[in-house]
Amino acid sequence: MHIPTLAPETLFYLFGVIPVTNTIINAWLAIIVFLIIGILISRRASLRPGKLQNFFEFILETLFGYFDQVTGDRKKTLRFLPLVGSVFFFILLSNWLGLLPGTGSIKLGHNFLLRPANTDLNLTVAMALTAVVASHVYGLVTVGIFTHLNKFIQIWPLIKSFKHGPIAIFTAIIEVGVGIIEIISEMAKVLSLSLRLFGNIFAGEVLMTVMSSLVAFAVPTPFMLLELLVGLIQASVFAMLTLVYLSVLTAEPHGTEEH
Amino acid sequence: MYFIDIAYAKAVAETTETIEETGLLASLGLDGRLFILQLINFAIVAIILWFLVLKPLVKKLAERQKLIDDGLNNAKKAQEQMDRSEIDYRAKILEAKKEAQTILEKTEKDAKTLSDNLKIKAKQEIENLAEQAKKNILKEKDEMMIGLKGETANLIVAALEKILSEKMTGEKDKKMIEEAVSGLGK
């Protein structure tokens, strides 16, 4: 039995310097699948949809229903769709690709050729960082630089508070503290997003490996079904949290109109 | 389970050793080059998904929605137009009915007037005819009376001539006739 290690296995090096791991192969597989689907859809997209277009439109409409509940506005949903949609579909497909026969069985050299892409912390951190940074970029563009930065850095209210007495100074100091906590929480977002996805998918992979090693037939099937569900849930959680971060940071802060 | 425990313990031991040797981030598999490569992978996925899948689908969904909205708007406009036409139609029908009623009333009134006029005219004609007939009758009566008088006078003269032929002279006879005639004129 080969229990997957935390770090993905390096299969070979591109140009002698860039390591290519089995999780990257899985990500490339996902890219190829998306490219094929994309070419098919973009070429055949019409007002009277075919089966493929109809299927994806159904998924998209279903997602819009959930996304609208978070954003409260279809326009906002469409604005965030490039990022949130990409996150959702990529996580979902790469998770499900890990359940295909060959993952954890086909070897290249001493290592397995395929491993679910999200069992690589590099990818989950990359996506989490992109999501959080993008939420700040959207926030900066939407509410303005000063309003956005004011959510985290409360220096100006602290300076102004010196004119208004000790209570105002005390409130301003608390606001500065809250700002620092906000900055820490932004960093925690990256950690929580990336580690949650990585932990769940990696645990699933370990579970699948153990179950498959114990009994090769039938017994792993319920766990595979469970992994299908976990893949969907994790994709949804990541996408919805990204959407929440985007919605929160693009919203006007309370009391802005008073200043 | 024993073998799993052994394997897991081995893996944990290997991991612990690795952590000690290479540090926490490296033991988790975090690597700058891999991170950038995965970032590029995600960017490629996002670009492919947005430009080849999501954007065309969203565009088509929006177009379809617009088509449906336009169709609904047109249907609403057509309904409104139909309602307006219905109202116009009803108003025209009502107007036509009123006009017809007015025409009927006018016609009835005209007919009555005409009838009355004709009746009056007919009555007048009848009266004229009756008057004319009366006049004719009176004229004929007068003529007849004159004729009758003449005849009567002749008859009386003849009768008297016969009765009194012997006793009457020519002068007496004439005088008597004249008296008789003048008496008749009264």
CB-based contact (8 Å) between A239 and chain B? no
CB A3 within 8 A of CB B11: yes
3-state secondary structure A140-162: HHHHCHHHHHHCCCCHHHHHHHC
Q: Is the dihedral of CA A155, A159, A164, A167 positive or negative?
A: positive
Q: How far apart are CA B15 and CA A253, in angstroms?
A: 45
Which helix H or strand E contains B171, and what residues bound it? helix B170-185
Out of B39, B48, B57, whose CB is closest to A45? B57
Residue B15 lies in a domain: no
Q: How far apart are CA A122 and CA B29, in angstroms?
A: 7
CB-based contact (8 Å) between B17 and chain A? no
Give A225 to chain B, closest Cα distance, Å. Answer: 23
Which range of residues forms the domain containing residue B152? 31-185
Residue A256 binned pLDDT confidence (cut-offs 50, 70, 90): very low
Residue B22 lies in a domain: no
What pTM value is reported for the model? 0.73
Contact check, Cβ <8 Å, A38/B42: no
Crossing angle of helices A121-143/B32-48, nearest 10°? 60
Q: How far apart are CA B43 and CA B68, in angstroms?
A: 35
Which residues of chain B neighbour A125 with C-beta distances below 8 Å? 30, 35
Residue B93 lies in a domain: yes
Minimum CA–CA partner of B48 in chain A: A35
Out of B28, B33, B50, whose CB is closest to A6? B28
Residue B60 lies in a domain: yes
CB-based contact (8 Å) between A167 and chain B? no
Looking at per-residue confidence, does B155 or A248 come out higher?
A248
Which residues of chain B neighbour A89 with C-beta distances below 8 Å? 45, 49, 53
Contact check, Cβ <8 Å, A7/B58: no
Contacts of B176 (CB under 8 A, 6+ apart): B160, B168
Residue A259 binned pLDDT confidence (cut-offs 50, 70, 90): very low
Contact check, Cβ <8 Å, A19/B41: no
Give B76 to chain A, closest Cα distance, Å. Answer: 22
Give B70: exposed, middle or buried? Use CB within 10 Å, 0-12, 13-18, 19+. Answer: exposed
Q: How many CB atoms lie within 10 A of CB A126?
A: 22
Residue A188 binned pLDDT confidence (cut-offs 50, 70, 90): very high
Nearest to A10, CA basis, from A119, A123, A109, A125:
A109
Predicted confidence pLDDT, tens digits, chain B (186 residues): 444 455 555 555 555 555 455 677 777 888 888 999 999 999 999 999 999 999 999 999 999 999 999 999 999 999 999 999 999 999 999 999 999 999 999 999 999 999 999 999 999 999 999 999 999 999 988 888 888 888 888 888 787 777 766 566 677 777 877 887 787 655
CB-based contact (8 Å) between B129 and chain A? no
The per-type count for chain B, helices as H runs and strands as E runs, is: 5, 0
Contact check, Cβ <8 Å, B52/A41: yes
Contact check, Cβ <8 Å, A86/B49: yes
Residue A96 binned pLDDT confidence (cut-offs 50, 70, 90): very high
Which residues of chain A neighbour B27 with C-beta distances below 8 Å? 6-7
Residue B176 lies in a domain: yes
Contact check, Cβ <8 Å, A34/B45: yes
Out of A18, A35, A86, whose CB is closest to B50? A86
CB-based contact (8 Å) between B30 and chain A? yes
Q: Give ∠ CA A156-A162-A166 in degrees, rounded to 5.
A: 125
Contact check, Cβ <8 Å, B44/A61: no
Which residues of chain B neighbour A122 with C-beta distances below 8 Å? 29-31, 34-35, 37-38
CB-based contact (8 Å) between A158 and chain B? no
Contacts of B35 (CB under 8 A, 6+ apart): A122, A125, A126
Residue B26 lies in a domain: no
Residue B3 lies in a domain: no
pLDDT tens column, A126-157 = 999 999 999 999 999 998 888 888 888 877 77
**Region of poorest pLDDT, from A55-59, A168-172, B181-185:** B181-185
Contact check, Cβ <8 Å, B58/A39: no
pLDDT for position B169: 66
Contact check, Cβ <8 Å, A34/B7: no
Give me B152's structure tokens: 């009567």
CB-based contact (8 Å) between B9 and chain A? no
Token pair 């540090």: residue: B23
> How many domains, in total, are found in chain B?
1
Contact check, Cβ <8 Å, B51/A42: yes
Count of A-B CB contacts under 8 Å? 144
Contact check, Cβ <8 Å, A86/B34: no
Token pair 């590029």: residue: B40
CB-based contact (8 Å) between A216 and chain B? no
3-state secondary structure chain A: CCCCCCCCCEEEEECCCEEEEHHHHHHHHHHHHHHHHHHHHHHHCCCCCCHHHHHHHHHHHHHHHHHHHHHCCHHHHHHHHHHHHHHHHHHHHHHHHCCCCCCCCCEECCEECCCCHHHCHHHHHHHHHHHHHHHHHHHHHHHCHHHHHHCCCCHHHHHHHCCCCHHHHHHHHHHHHHHHHHHHHHHHHHHHHHHHHHHHHHHHHHHHHHHHHHCCCCCHHHHHHHHHHHHHHHHHHHHHHHHHHHHHHCCCCCCHHHC
Residue B160 lies in a domain: yes
Prediction ipTM score: 0.90
Contact check, Cβ <8 Å, A31/B41: yes
Contact check, Cβ <8 Å, B42/A78: no
